[in-house]
A and B are shown apart, each in its own frame.
Chain A
Amino acid sequence: MPDPFTKANGVALTREQTLSSTNGPAKLLFGKYELGKMVGCGAFAKVYHARQVPTGQSVALKVLSKPRIVKSGMYINVRREIVSMRRIRHPHVVKLIDVMASQSKIYLVLEYIKGGEMFRGISAKGKLNEDSARDLFRQLLSAVAFCHSRGVFHRDLKLENLLLDEFGKLKVSDFGLSALSPTSFSNQTILFKTLCGTPAYVAPEVISRRPYDAAKVDLWACGVILFVLSSGYLPFNDVNLMMLYRKIYKAEYRFPKWISPDLRTLISRMLDSNPETRITVDGIINDPWFRYGLNQNQIDELMQHQPEIEDRILKIDQEEEKRDLNAFDLISLSRGFDLSGLFVSQKAKKERLTSSGTVEEILDKVEEVGRREGFYTLKRKGNEGRGMAVVHGSTGGSLAWVEIFRLNKDIALIEIEKGEVEDEEGEYGHNFWKNKLLPALHGLQTEIEPKTPISPNSPLSVLDGPSSGSGAPDMDDPESDSDLIS
């Protein structure tokens, strides 16, 4: 198949090309990316270094061939993985920046990591001392825990997918993109030649083709990685594939003599051939070797990453104006303006109520209810009777948002919204925001006796249809909204 990049100059210029060639080099993809040299190549993808034109920012451009994807039946995977990948923003996960496409190619724009694959670094040293291994493993676990809490699994964790940036920070690549991961890189020195194309990181339950829990499979692979980092070789290795499978199946491996007893304990709990008894993320966080030298605050700092929370607080801070809510502010809160429902199947669920409590009282209440359930609360008191709080779990994902606005000197409007990690199958079970927080804040509500209640049948006011039985099909999720309408 001809390569469109080298061919681009050989054909008649189209409108876009004419534009780009007047402003800069001809190899300008989508008017945005200047293509550099190829840095990797695999079954489905070629990876190039590229530069974003107006900013000069380096990116990795993963170019996939559409015909090959269609032929291998991977189209659904590609779609699903792009969707899950976009939800992950974590300092130790390579970020998906953009997706583009032409008739025959798909382009994934990824964060560019200047350092390179970790195992190149390790191959130079042979193995790492336990402190360095622990430092890298902590970063890996924080990334894995974050993705798992958001329902994204790697399924192909291995040393080749761990990159080190120029500051020595670990970045996991291909999270959620395992089906697309290149099988080899063109310019790498391969440390573990024998492992090429062998399932050295695969968990026993995958080999035996049982239905498996993707979280447990990732943790097994983390155990293999931790073993390799600290010993310099693979725990399971054999030139004969059947022998290798047997070793993995029986979890048959031997520690080198320099591995400390605490580390042996942790690795053996990760390389537990029974997924039921294998250690969980929480188990690892509480393991003595993992925690060594860190206090609880430092552990929280390591495990909690809150890009969504930070973004939103920043946005609230920017938008905050030092005044009471006016009539137009109030109107702008309507769900009728919230077009996000067009874009996401699970629209943010919200409830509003009024309170005569002070901002402090409301914020304290939120914190108290959160603490009772074992969650963390970030509070912020703004100007003019405004405030916000977010209740989050141990990996930083939000369970509930609370925003407080002042309507006038007596009354505050409270908006409670479902957090991004909370859903029916979420790690925290059921609806903290709705079943715990909302009733508690309703309890704060003091009686505001309306002198003349507004007519609920005002002609232009909202007429709620029945929450179900409308006969119309639901968009994506049949149960996504029924409780909001009630």
Chain B
Amino acid sequence: MGCMISKQFKRIPGYEDPTLLASETSFSLNEVEALYELFKKLSHSIFKDGLIHKEEFQLALFRNSTRKNLFADRIFDLFDLKRNGVIEFGEFVRSLSVFHPDTPKSDKINFAFRLYDLRNTGFIEREELKEMVLAILNESDIILSDDMVESIVDKTFQQADSKGDGRIDLDEWKDFASQNPALLKNMTLPYLKDITTAFPSFVMRSEIEDDSL
């Protein structure tokens, strides 16, 4: 069952040895195998080529392949480590590992910083923060007056921009995130703790040799 398919999938671009991925990430070998089941599903939802395209990512997140979202775009761009416009299997596993509950907090802090540094300048500028606040309000259908938006952004900058130079650098961000750990809530996905029970299809295809147990 599934034997032919399994071989065919192995030739997909960007396939990497699960043993190697397990050794580099917070995942066990079975978990990487379970993630591969998930990856196959996601990467064949529209373009059947074994790569996750932006449209497929949006389809999974929003059930709508054309729905644009600033933050989903940022996540996609950071997952796409090779910056070739698609997410390969190895990129998928390595990036998701950041969201594993067991991954060190420092990795999560760094990832969040890169996420919010919209223009990749090495700083979170005031303008970027305001753009992101407007995007979340718009997404939530919440209307706030411009004054109110300005005051929320100002207040946050007063707390985070400790050097007062109008932009948040990585050190300031590390301090700010350490003082307010709830900020990193979106950097942890509890689902990653039980991917084997969530994607049990891997059990029929597992390649772990019995003798190695």
Interface residues of A (CB under 8 A from B): 4-5, 7-8, 11, 14-17, 29-30, 66, 70, 75, 78-79, 82-83, 85-86, 96, 98-106, 319-321, 323-324, 326-344, 347, 352-354, 407-408, 411, 413, 448-454, 456, 458, 460-467, 470, 472-475, 477, 480-482, 484-485
Q: Are A454 and B64 in contact (CB under 8 A)?
A: no
Q: Are A14 and B209 in contact (CB under 8 A)?
A: yes
Tell me which residues across on chain A come within 8 A of B207, comparing CB atoms. 103
Cα A324 to Cα B200 in complex, Å, equals 42
Cα A81 to Cα B207 in complex, Å, equals 22
Query: Nearest chain B CB to A295's CB is how many angstroms away?
Result: 37
Tell me which residues across on chain B come within 8 A of A339, comparing CB atoms. 61, 75, 96, 99, 189
Residue from A4, A344, A458 in contact with B134 in the complex, judged by beta carbons closer than 8 Å: A458
Cα A467 to Cα B63 in complex, Å, equals 9
Q: Are B152 and A465 in contact (CB under 8 A)?
A: no
Tell me which residues across on chain A come within 8 A of B9, comparing CB atoms. none
How many residues of chain B have a CB within 8 Å of chain A?
Answer: 85
CB-nearest residue of chain B to A102: B208
Tell me which residues across on chain A come within 8 A of B140, comparing CB atoms. 333, 352
Q: Are B200 and A8 in contact (CB under 8 A)?
A: no
Interface residues of B (CB under 8 A from A): 1, 28, 30, 33, 38, 41-42, 45-46, 55, 59-75, 96, 99, 116, 118, 129, 131-149, 151-153, 155-156, 159-160, 176, 180-183, 185-186, 189, 191, 194-198, 200-204, 206-213
Query: Nearest chain A CB to B47's CB is how many angstroms away?
Result: 10
CB-nearest residue of chain B to A470: B66
Q: Are B65 and A462 in contact (CB under 8 A)?
A: no
**Complex A-B: 26 CB contacts under 8 Å:** A16-B212, A29-B213, A30-B28, A70-B204, A79-B203, A82-B203, A100-B203, A103-B210, A324-B155, A327-B132, A328-B160, A328-B183, A329-B182, A334-B71, A334-B139, A335-B61, A337-B71, A341-B60, A342-B42, A408-B148, A408-B152, A460-B135, A462-B69, A465-B66, A475-B63, A480-B63
Cα A324 to Cα B206 in complex, Å, equals 48
Interface class of chain A by DSSP = loop
Q: Are B136 and A333 in contact (CB under 8 A)?
A: yes
Sorted nearest first, the 6 A-B pairs with minimum C-beta distance are A336-B71, A481-B63, A472-B65, A336-B72, A465-B66, A101-B206
Tell me which residues across on chain B come within 8 A of A102, comparing CB atoms. 206, 208-210, 212-213
